[in-house]
Amino acid sequence: MFTWESLENACAQCRACALCQTRTNLVFGVGEKSAEILLVGEGPGEKEDLDGVPFVGKAGQLLDDMLKIIGLDRKTNVYIANVVKCRPPGNRDPLHQEQAACLPWLREQFRLIRPKIVLCLGRIAAGALIHPDFRITSEHGQWFEKSGVFFMALYHPAALLRDDSKRPETFVDLKNVEEKILQICSHTVLNKY
Ligand code: URA
Ligand code: SF4
């Protein structure tokens, strides 16, 4: 069994897939380790690889704005990680074998956090965590319960930057998340209440 410190130290040494050869920094995760809400993206982009922190580029700024709408932020009440911890070159999708090699790290993070809600950002994370043939256009915003934990996929913020027309649906999904938080999380979770 890992503690946070031993997990982070072990992960930092990981060479379980070829992405270790091209990474600048491994991107482990950021946020509140006792959060009831875990957010999972796909993998580090260029800025994340340089900084070693998830969602610090343009998509990350939009993510922070999205979270703020429902009283969430990475400093106090969510933890943010990715399916793969090292950047896929040129921001290509992580391969199945890379995802499979990396998922044990996320599983350990999940075990330590014990979130009540897991929000998958985009198709890749939803495919890895909810079900393998996940269709983001038809299945975003739906709840999937697994062993008492509620999973939902949202459009990836990078997809919202490319296509503004998806934003209203994402707003509806976020309000749905807010409602679930009010139902099942401690009432102090949302900063605005
Ligand atoms: N996109 C992701 O999926 N994860 C990050 O950390 C940054 C961009
Ligand atoms: Fe290890 Fe994951 Fe990085 Fe591959 S992507 S080297 S499995 S930490």
For residue 81, report the distance from its CA to the centre of ligand 2, in Å: 13
> Closest Cα partner for 178 from 19, 22, 36?
36
In a domain, 190, yes or no: no
This prediction has a pTM of 0.97
Pocket flag, ligand 2, residue 7 (CB < 6 Å): no
Pocket flag, ligand 1, residue 41 (CB < 6 Å): yes
In a domain, 86, yes or no: yes
> Could you list the residue range(s) of the whole structural domain that residue 173 is in?
4-183
For residue 97, report the distance from its CA to the centre of ligand 1, in Å: 19
For residue 59, report the distance from its CA to the centre of ligand 1, in Å: 7
In a domain, 191, yes or no: no
- Ligand 1, atom 6, lies closest to the CA of 54
In a domain, 119, yes or no: yes
pLDDT tens readout for residues 70-104: 999 999 999 999 999 999 999 999 999 999 999 99
> Residue 177 pLDDT > 70, yes or no?
yes
> Closest Cα partner for 115 from 81, 161, 164, 165?
81
What is the DSSP pairing of strand 30-31 with strand 149-154? unpaired
Count CA within 13 A, CB hemisphere, residue 23.
24
Overall average pLDDT of the 10-35 stretch? 98
Q: Total structural domains in the chain?
A: 1
Residue 148: CATH number of its domain? 3.40.470.10
In a domain, 189, yes or no: no
Residue 193 pLDDT: 54
In a domain, 192, yes or no: no
